[in-house]
Structure 1
Amino acid sequence: MPYYRSAGSVPRKRHTQHRTPDGGLYSEELMGEEGFSSDSSLLYHVNVPSAVVDVRAWELPDQTLTPNHPMAPRHFATHALFDGGATGVDAVTGRRLLLGNGDVRLSYVVADTPSPLYRNAIGDECLYVESGRAEVRTLFGDLSVGEGDYVIVPRATTYDVVPTGGPVRIYAIEANSHIGPPKRYLSRYGQLLEHAPYCERDLRGPAEPRVVEGTDVDVHIKHRGPGPGGIAGTVHTYPQHPFDVVGWDGCLYPYAFNVADYEPITGRIHQPPPAHEVFAGNNFVVCNFVPRKVDYHPLAVPVPYYHSNVDSDEVMFYCGGDYEARKGSGIGQGSISLHPGGHPHGPQPGAVERSIGAEFFDELAVMVDTFRPLELGEAARATDDGRYAYSWSGGRRLRAEQPA
């Protein structure tokens, strides 16, 4: 996080005695990144945070990945994954894996049930709320989130997700690294700069921490291990509820940011994808294409030019409005397109001419660009329409069989 916060009860000096009302000591925990050399927070627990009374394996949802071979652009309909409803599905164990590589995994879930307590020990998570509302309850405090919210959850943060008022649709971006604002938006001290499309006022931190009663409480942990992709699951049972923090301070904590607070960067001619960047992780970036005024040069072509992803795979999640460049391709709300490196892609036939003279695009999409090839998870294999690769040629196919 780019700035310091303090919540609840903390001592005046770090690493000094902080006593309970009955004279005992709170347990101080340092949660820090990069071996004590980057952002951190100090948390003060009623109980000992290391104490566990049971350890057992957790069988994760299917994490297998299949190469995108033969290499082709693809279209996945995420809403079809849960078209029968979300009865009994939670936002952790119900995630279905769409795409992934050694740097990032992309999943989708429609949840109507509170999740178990959960901790991702592999990397930070970025949860995008497509629709619905939920409480993301963490040991730092709670975040009330709804449609259009990004929720950044630092690695090893214990949390759960409780839908409120109906199902919540979540697009989950799970990193093998940390996720934060792009470095070019930050001063050397970590403040968001004047040219950044959002600032600290737009970021919502958690509410005050609180102590939750409970005994023999399970926490599901995703961690490095022997499973597919080097990922495994374990359940730790804690003698007391891990939400026992009376106070914390520092620069590492979960926060929410709503896409409506992103101020788009526009110009007389078409702006490239880095102008839409919102977050970055190791070997990938997250961009968002929001409703915006478009190019105003008298000869401007507002939709993107055809382009080759020389170093990247591009994943677009279409979650609002009507995306101008994809009209006529079969893509709709909840669709995901994969444009792999090595295939030049761009607007559908007719989109260029239709866009000329447009002053505003009413569209909303979340894009993840990766710098290593993405492979297909079970959810992508289940919903690949088999036709998208041929949409630029009007659906004409030389061979009748479906692509592998």
Structure 2
Amino acid sequence: MENFKSSGIHTKQAHVKVPEGHFEEEHGRDGFFGRVSHLYHQKPPVGWSNIEGDLKPRCQPPMYDNAAKNEFITILSNDDVVLNIGHYTESFKNFYRSADFDEMYFIHDGTGTIETVYGHLDYVKGDYIVIPRGTTYKLYLKTETKIFKVESRSEFEQPERGMLGPNALYDQTAIVVPTAAYGSEQDKKEYKVEIKRLGRITTVTYPYNPLCVSGWKGSVYPFKLSIYDFCPVMSHRYHMPPSAHTTFVCKNFVVCSFVERPLEDSSHGVLKVPFYHSNIDFDEVLFYHQGNFFSRDNIDAGALTFHPQGIHHGPHPKAFKNSESKTFTDEFAVMIDAKRPLIPSEWFMKNENKDYWKSWF
């Protein structure tokens, strides 16, 4: 049992009726799933005048304009998870199989089909496509496709619903699985499968299409879920923490979906914008998919922000005023909260907006 204590000025309910002239900070453990305290500052925790060192909040402007075409580019990584972007204008040349990672493709834009050994999955904008490690597949484009790809050392599992019941967040009927089907290409003399193991590629050649499975059964299979089918947990009298938007759970990181929803009722004194927080156990990455990201200045679709553990973060100064008249948010974003520190790639450091940390001035 938690042993709550208090001292000085504080609220009866977190995120509700913050004392006038004060700014609430949530000091939480275990990525909003653990113990927590709230501190009431007379000055905003992000009111810095300078930052020297590695903990500056970091931002990638819309990334796909700077990315090489038809390959995945790593942007952030640790021993549990690798975050990549891909801007594809043509289909995969060969089939692919990862022996290193389970994979999740988030389709930022585009249409096409992923043909797998389990069958085919058509994709459109906003689809999460989860591909278990060891699955052979090939990406076929119908239109130019922009992907946010997450590689995981562990499986992508569904979150516990607990008292919300099994149909909360997304119903099981919202999950689409492949119908068994052979690969569509049947006229080639040879078919190559690129297999990734320990970061190196082994190429295996077959005289037939390797997607030649007549049927399947079991509990390991690719599937897709649309971010537009995610049903957020809401309250007009309480600002839900990011953990309430958890979509997939992996070892040492989670994937959350922020989607359009009614905002909290200001007549009850509830914060509409994200609260300032020091999520000390997790690095936070937010990929902006579409909509009006009213808690951030100068952030557009296809951008990404990275806030390392140890530095406060929260809404930009204009967000509080911008939220006063808003009753609804139309933003869609994907969040990765990682327990181990994430390391930016050379590509990330070359292309980032190095003045992003100044946007709280």
Shift of 1:69: 5.9
Which of 141, 157, 166 is 1:180 aligned to?
157
Q: Conserved in 1, the CA contact under 8 Å of 2:111 and 2:123?
A: yes
1:81 matches 2:66: yes
Structure 1 residue 80 displacement after superposition: 2.8
The alpha-carbon deviation at position 124 of structure 1 amounts to 1.0
Q: Give me the whole-angstrom Cα distance separating, in 1, the residues matched to 2:166 and 2:313.
A: 33
Shift of 1:71: 2.6
**Partner AA of 2:294 in structure 1:** E
Work out whether 1:324 is the aligned partner of 2:294.
yes
- 1:72 is aligned to 2:56: yes
2:194 maps to a residue whose letter is H
1:111 aligns to what? 88
Q: 1:215: Cα distance to partner?
A: 4.6
Q: Structure 2 CA distance, aligned partners of 1:177 and 1:355?
A: 38
Correspondence for 1:284 among 253, 263, 276: 253
* 1:183-222 equivalences in 2 (<5 Å): 184-185=160-161, 193-194=165-166, 196-210=168-182, 213=186, 214-222=188-196
| Preserved contact between residue 140 and residue 208 of structure 1 (Cα < 8 Å) | yes
- Aligned equivalent of 2:265: 296
* Counterpart residue number, 1:161: 139
Residue 41 of structure 2 corresponds to none
Counterpart in the other structure of 1:272: 241
Q: Unaligned stretches of 5+ in structure 1?
A: 1-67, 225-230, 394-404
TM-score (norm 2): 0.80
1:337 partner amino acid: T
CA-CA distance at 1:148 after TM superposition: 0.5
CA contact (8 A) 1:315 1:336 kept: yes
Sequence identity of aligned pairs in percent?
34
Partner of 2:228: 260
Answer yes or no: is the 8 Å Cα contact 2:59–2:352 preserved in 1. Answer: yes
Find the counterpart in structure 2 of residue 143 from structure 1: 121
Q: Residue 126 of structure 1: CA displacement?
A: 0.8
Instruction: Work out the CA distance in 2 between the residues paired with 1:143 and 1:156.
Output: 17
**What one-letter code is carried by the residue in structure 2 that aligns with 1:81?**
N
- Correspondence for 1:21: none
Note the alpha carbon deviations across 1:114-137, whole angstroms, 9 max, x for none. 112101111211100011101111
Amino acid across the alignment from 2:66:
L
TM-score, normalisation: structure 1: 0.72
Indicate whether 1:388 and 2:356 are aligned. yes
Aligned to 2:214, what secondary structure does the other structure show?
A: strand
Deviations 1:133-183 (A, max 9, x none): 01111011000000000000011100011110x21110001111111212x
Q: Secondary structure at the match of 2:340?
A: coil
Q: SS at the partner of 1:308?
A: strand
Displacement of 1:218 in angstroms is: 1.2
1:373 aligns with 2:341: yes
Q: How many residues align?
A: 304
Unaligned 5+ runs, structure 2: 1-51
Deviation of the 1:368 alpha carbon: 0.4
Cα drift, residue 186 of structure 1: 7.6
Indicate if the aligned counterparts of 2:264 and 2:270 stay in contact, CA closer than 8 A. Answer: yes
How is 1:19-98 mapped onto 2 (pairs within 5 angstroms)?
A: 70-77=54-61, 78-82=63-67, 89-90=69-70, 94-98=71-75
Q: Secondary structure at the match of 1:247?
A: coil
Cross-structure match for 2:217: 249
Matching residue of 1:347: 315
Question: Which amino acid is 1:199 matched to?
Answer: D
The residue that corresponds to 1:56 in the other structure is none
Q: Is the 8 A contact 2:180 2:213 kept in 1?
A: no
AA aligned opposite 1:198: Y
Correspondence 1:123 to 2:105: no
C-alpha distance in 2, partners of 1:185/1:140?
28
Structure 1 residue 200, shift from structure 2 partner: 1.1
Contact 1:300 1:356 (8 Å CA) reproduced: no
Secondary structure class of the residue paired with 2:151: strand
Corresponding residue SS for 1:314: strand
Deviation, 1:195, is: 5.3
Shift of the 118–193 alpha-carbon distance from structure 1 to 2, 3 Å rule, reads farther
Q: Which amino acid aligns with 2:126?
A: G
Is the CA contact 1:80–1:383 (under 8 Å) kept in the aligned structure 2? Answer: no
Q: State how far apart, in whole Å, the 2-side matches of 1:281 and 1:244 are.
A: 31
Q: Aligned partners of 1:197 and 1:149: how far apart in 2?
A: 15
Which residue number in structure 2 is paired with residue 240 of structure 1?
208
- Determine the structure 2 residue equivalent to 1:307: 277
Distance 1:258 1:75 in 2: 26
Letter in 2 for 1:304: P
Compared CA separation, residues 343 and 259, structure 1 to 2 (3 A)? same
Could you tell me how far 1:73 is from its partner in structure 2?
Answer: 1.1
Quote the RMSD (CA, aligned, Å): 2.0
Instruction: Output the CA distance in 1 between the equivalents of 2:126 and 2:119.
Output: 21
Letter in 1 for 2:103: E
Q: Please tell me whether the aligned partners of residues 99 and 374 of structure 1 are also in contact (alpha carbons under 8 angstroms).
A: yes
Distance in 2 between residues matched to 1:148 and 1:288, nearest whole Å: 11
1-structure distance, mates of 2:194, 2:346: 22
Q: Give the drift of 1:358.
A: 2.4
